[in-house]
Amino acid sequence: MCLAFSQDGQHVYAAGNLADFGRTTELDGAIRVSLKDGRADGFVEFPVIGTIKKMTIVNNDARFIYFSASKELLTLDIGAKEFARRTRVYGGFMKSTAISPKSRHFAVTSQNERNRQSAEPCRLTAFTQDGKQTLSYEFSGEKEYRGAVMCFPTDEQLVLCLPTGKMLKWKYAQDRQRWEAQGEPLTTVNGPFSAIASSNEVRVLWLAQDRTLLEIDAKSGEVNQKIDLEIGKRSGRSQSEPIECLTLIDKPSLVVAGLQDGRIALVPITQAGK
């Protein structure tokens, strides 16, 4: 479901449908964190309601911050073996989530759970860890909401790519403590998309469509290149599961794609993104 790298770039953590970190277990609805550090070979467990949707690691691997399908944003303090913070998020049907590089901002696309069959709005909501809302963007309909992806290239920038081929960008105004539109929407490739990642310089965006990676120029919206992942094909008509999540590594320059069938694809790129 999602990938996170330790700050030294040496370890990758993956969360799947069992909501586990670090190792395979038979437990459903729990986080199992390995404490193996050369002195001990044990683990601690924390109860979780629902699948982990998005996560990051902060403070030298001492904390996990993640979105849960239980409609919460949670901070897990590994050293203290307890949850340091729990924040309720809007709606009940989360589709896309994002966490800024320094974990200062969080965003989620969701639909109100009360009357899903009626004209309840689908929204992108951005907020700080204390729950303060800093942006509310309403989608034109459920189809647009379900095919959209977003990311924080930096702590001050938020990008949303719609399946209609529109790219919206916001910049965080520190003095007003809210997100403001950055220019007019750009026209880019049509979706729907399953994942997005961005370089820190915000020069390019990487979008995933099924098993294809698209490199997008962040200023013009043009497609620089397409990369079709050929690994893991099944026999017959159906291919291996599509790309579920993306992240970027600067050194070495890699696009890391997590596939739904459990594979991780490492795609080398240059500093220019080619």
* Other residues' Cβ atoms within 10 Å of the Cβ of residue 54: 23
The pLDDT tens digits of the residues spanning 221-245 come to: 999 999 988 765 554 444 556 888 8
Average pLDDT over residues 264-274: 68
Q: What is the pLDDT of residue 39?
A: 46
- pLDDT per residue as tens digits for the range 90-122: 666 778 888 888 888 999 888 876 555 556 688
pLDDT the model gives residue 118: 57
The two three-digit tokens of residue 11, written as one number: 């370890």
Closest CA to 256 of 19, 14, 32: 14
Check if the beta carbon of residue 112 is closer than 8 Å to that of residue 103. Answer: no
204-218 mean pLDDT: 92
| Alpha-carbon distances, residue 160 vs 48, 124, 147, 251 (angstroms) | 29, 9, 11, 26
Mean pLDDT across 246-260:
82
Return d(Cα 236, Cα 241) in angstroms, integer: 14
Report which residue type is found at 233: K
Q: How confident is the model over 13-48, as pLDDT tens digits?
A: 666 655 445 444 444 456 666 655 544 456 666 666
- Asked if 202 and 196 count as a contact pair (C-beta separation under 8 A), the reply is no
What is the percentage of the chain residues whose pLDDT exceeds 90? Answer: 26
- pLDDT attached to residue 184: 92
Supply the pTM of this predicted model. Answer: 0.78
3-state class (DSSP) for residue 142: helix
